[in-house]
Chain A
């Protein structure tokens, strides 16, 4: 087995000088792992003119920040980012590298893992530590969310995982700021995929931070979703839904909740016309109060909710909206 330096790395994503929420959460998870293994936590951040981002990272628990700057890294590009991270990892030999399960993390992590000739686990819902063996136990849903598996990489280093956004809460933990400046060797000719045009369509939504999430399933139907949007509006919440709801186009794909969608942890989660498939349920396990409405009293969703109502979605929502409006108008 390759000797590792022992550092635990977190790959940090940022935009317009701000660290992404997913990365802040990952820093918290990384801190846990590093502490569990009695190792240092290092944040790895790539870009150009991003010194301010490095300073911010020390506030979120990094013992060390690798500030990898190069004009070619100004924008994310998979080939160059992979080279910069892999080269640094080959030199420093970290024990663990964590990425967020964002679009970027999901294509970068496997590429880095392959280049470093090590294993990786995708879409982890949790990381646990086996300190005696120096291993990170990577917990993920498998077989369509029907079971959880614990994956380890016993004989290869680094241990690499992507972690789903929404499964940890960012913490503020001041550390002494140690910035290590790195200038990678990069060449434009290494770019194999050229971006012709970027179309930013979705504003960053606040699904992971929302206090209330109103989510619908196939049983809500198009009409139900009209009422779901109305309810979310009244409660100042965000809408979400199951995979069929996204397939039908009732919600944008980015608002699919579950294992292959987003993980949310609102104070209140309201589920309307969803059966309660485990793939979906893993998406709101961390929620506070879960209220479920389904017309089938035997629907599995009731095993994952605190309060259940056996009713037709449309009828129930109309009544609920009326009740809430009555109260809110009376104020």
Chain B
């Protein structure tokens, strides 16, 4: 079985710094990492491979340094890593990203399954996985919690509004896995060292048969028009009293607000 897993390198959003004057995100200062949810995708892919055999290929679209994310995927245990990098790709939105990743999958065909994280930590769109499926006209299973492949069929437990459902689709298919799907493994020291020695394959736009006009900023239907900091509407009055007194004051406040006193 050949599983393709999509991996994105993202800034560590817990440490985002914003230029106070312009509201611009100081991207250069952010440490980079594998999108946390994509680790769940890698883990799901690896478990499938370990169950039924085959190979896992990690694919990333990004600038040259996205190589680091792929190294991490290799250290976790993926067999192959492919980086799609081209200056023309800068500014691509989810629509374009899914087109590029879909083309890459075709280039790497045959494949049985494409696994993505449900969403990325920076853009937080949750769009890419779904749109890869649509682009390739393949079955799409989103919000996956459990995954099994039996013969030519993928079976998944997925989260829906108000509960869960078990669904089935024929391979090849595209699935997006949630944070709750699994606990991603940590690479070992040895696997990290080994991953550094292995080659990372590269694909250019030309390899994928795409023109610069179709991708990047030019090819993207959406535009970010403004970045701003959400305004702070409140500033708490601190009750600095011993706990019992503070609790009494808060209790009164609550009862008053609810119209009970």
Where the two chains meet, the residues of A that have a C-beta atom closer than 8 Å to any C-beta of B are 78-79, 82, 102-104, 106-107, 110-111, 113-115, 117-123, 137, 140-144, 146-156, 192-202, 204, 211-212, 235, 247, 253, 259-260, 267-268, 270, 277-278, 282, 285, 288-292, 297, 302-312, 315-316, 319-320, 322-324, 327
B106 CB–A CB distance under 8 Å: no
Contacting residues of chain B (221-261) with chain A, CB-CB under 8 angstroms? 221-230, 232-240, 243-244, 246-248, 250-251, 253-255, 257-258, 260-261
Q: Bound complex: CA of A148 vs CA of B23, how far in Å?
A: 10
B6 CB–A CB distance under 8 Å: no
| Min distance, Cβ B169 to any Cβ of chain A, angstroms | 5
A161 nearest in chain B by CB position? B222
The 8 Å CB contact of B236, one of A82, A198, A307, A319, is A307
User: Can you name 21 A-B residue pairings with CB atoms under 8 Å?
Assistant: A104-B161, A107-B140, A110-B131, A111-B130, A119-B220, A122-B127, A142-B124, A143-B25, A149-B228, A151-B222, A192-B140, A194-B167, A290-B236, A292-B236, A302-B238, A303-B235, A306-B236, A307-B239, A309-B246, A319-B244, A324-B254
Interface size class, chain B: 35 or more
| Min distance, Cβ B193 to any Cβ of chain A, angstroms | 31
Q: A114-B95, A315-B243, A323-B248 are in contact. Are A149 and B226 (CB under 8 A)?
A: yes
Q: Which 8 A-B pairs have the closest CB atoms?
A: A119-B221, A144-B13, A319-B247, A308-B236, A119-B222, A192-B139, A323-B251, A200-B163
DSSP majority for the A interface? mixed
Asked if residues A196 and B225 are in contact (CB atoms below 8 Å), the reply is: no
Q: A137-B225, A143-B25 are in contact. Are A196 and B232 (CB under 8 A)?
A: no
The 8 Å CB contact of B243, one of A120, A148, A195, A311, is A311
Q: Bound complex: CA of A309 vs CA of B236, how far in Å?
A: 9
The 8 Å CB contact of A193, one of B94, B122, B140, B244, is B140
